[in-house]
Amino acid sequence: MGALTLIQIPFSHNCVKVRVALARKGVSYETRNIPPSERASVAAASGQGMVPVLIDDGRVIVDSTAILLHLEERYPDPPLVPEDPALRAECLVLEDWADQAFMALSRRVSYANVLKRPGAR
């Protein structure tokens, strides 16, 4: 299989989620770190400005959940989500809820803090 590249903002919770999934699956990848205020390289690679972006053997996948599902399909072991359709659906609903409830708020707090103090994390 070809090389994977993860375009990310290192402290982004959604990027952390993807890195954890890649580690759990034991998949090697390279990272391309970008600052939160400079999205031109992300847009050039993916046609949009959000991270994470995974480039897998020339295929561009955006959105952390879409990336996790791509990894699940391409690298099935160990599984990240249940195979049973009902349990899988429940897992994905809970994942989406967590993204909306926790990630969005913590992202705003993190970015506000980082932008107020450049270079500090």
Q: What is the pTM of this model?
A: 0.81
Residue of 93, 45, 24, 40 whose CA lies nearest to 65: 93
Residue ranges making up the domain that contains 84: 4-116
Whether 75 maps to a domain, the answer reads yes
How many residues appear in the chain?
121
The CATH number of the domain holding residue 89 is 3.40.30.10
Burial class, 78, CB count within 10 angstroms (exposed 0-12 / middle 13-18 / buried 19+): exposed
Q: List residues bridging with 8 in a β-sheet.
A: 33
83, part of any domain: yes
Q: What are the strands of the beta sheet with 30-33, ordered from one edge?
A: 30-33, 4-8, 53-56, 59-62
Domain count, the chain: 1
| C-alpha distances out from residue 11 to 15, 84, 101, 106, Å | 7, 33, 18, 11
Residue 121 belongs to some domain of the structure: no
Q: CA 62 to CA 46: how far, in whole Å? A: 7
Is residue 50 in some structural domain? yes
The pLDDT tens digits along the chain (121 residues) read 568 999 999 888 889 999 999 999 999 999 999 988 888 989 988 989 889 999 999 999 999 999 999 999 999 999 988 899 999 899 888 888 877 777 777 767 777 777 777 665 5
